[in-house]
Every structure is written in structure tokens, then in C-alpha cells.
């Protein structure tokens, strides 16, 4: 039996170790996921990155973090 597992992409978000607003930023990042799931979608939706990258970039300007998109 063969099974095709689709590639999955994720945001990999990094904060500096001593960044004091990381908890606040994580709350807002998690809110993006919760809002997205209200439409019946999940992080595994093929367009998750495209649908949310602008929101992540906006938070990146407010909070000091870096991110990259990785394929799994």
C-alpha cells in the first residue's frame, strides 16, 4: 500500500531569550490561529501560510521576533 502524505508548511517563530514581551506576542499569535479555526480551517489547511502571513508580519513589526517558513 502506498500513502501520499502532503507536505506541510509551518511558521517557525523565534524570540530572543530575554525578550520581555514574548508571552504577550504568543497570545496574539495564538489568537490568529483561533480566529482562523473559527472558519473551520486549521494550521493544516494548504493556504494557512498565505492566509496569515500578513498578520504575522504585522505582529513582527510590533514585537521583536524572526520567523521563517519551513516544510515538513
* Cα torsion through 59, 62, 68, 72, rounded to 10: -30
Q: Is residue 28 a contact partner of residue 59, using CB atoms and an 8 Å limit? A: yes
User: How long, in residues, is the chain?
Assistant: 72
Mean pLDDT in residue range 51-70: 96
**Per-residue confidence at 72, pLDDT binned at 50, 70, 90?**
confident
* The predicted structure's pLDDT at residue 4: 73
pLDDT at 35: 95
- Residue 47: which domain range? 9-71
- Answer yes or no: is pLDDT of 60 > 80: yes
Report the number of distinct structural domains present in the chain: 1
Coil, strand, or helix at residue 45? Answer: coil
Query: Residue 18 domain-assigned?
Result: yes
Would residue 3 count as lying in a domain? no
Within-domain flag for 13: yes
Half-sphere exposure of 59 toward its Cβ, with a 13 Å CA cutoff? 22
Give residue-wise pLDDT tens across range 1-50. 777 777 788 999 999 999 999 999 999 999 999 999 998 898 888 899 99
Amino acid at each position: 500500500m502506498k500513502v501520499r502524505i502532503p507536505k506541510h508548511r509551518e511558521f517557525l517563530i523565534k524570540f530572543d531569550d530575554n525578550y520581555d514581551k514574548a508571552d504577550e506576542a504568543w497570545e496574539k499569535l495564538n489568537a490568529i490561529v483561533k480566529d482562523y479555526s473559527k472558519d473551520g480551517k486549521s494550521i493544516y489547511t494548504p493556504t494557512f501560510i498565505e492566509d496569515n502571513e500578513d498578520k504575522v508580519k504585522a505582529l513582527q513589526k510590533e514585537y521583536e521576533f524572526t520567523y521563517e517558513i519551513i516544510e515538513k
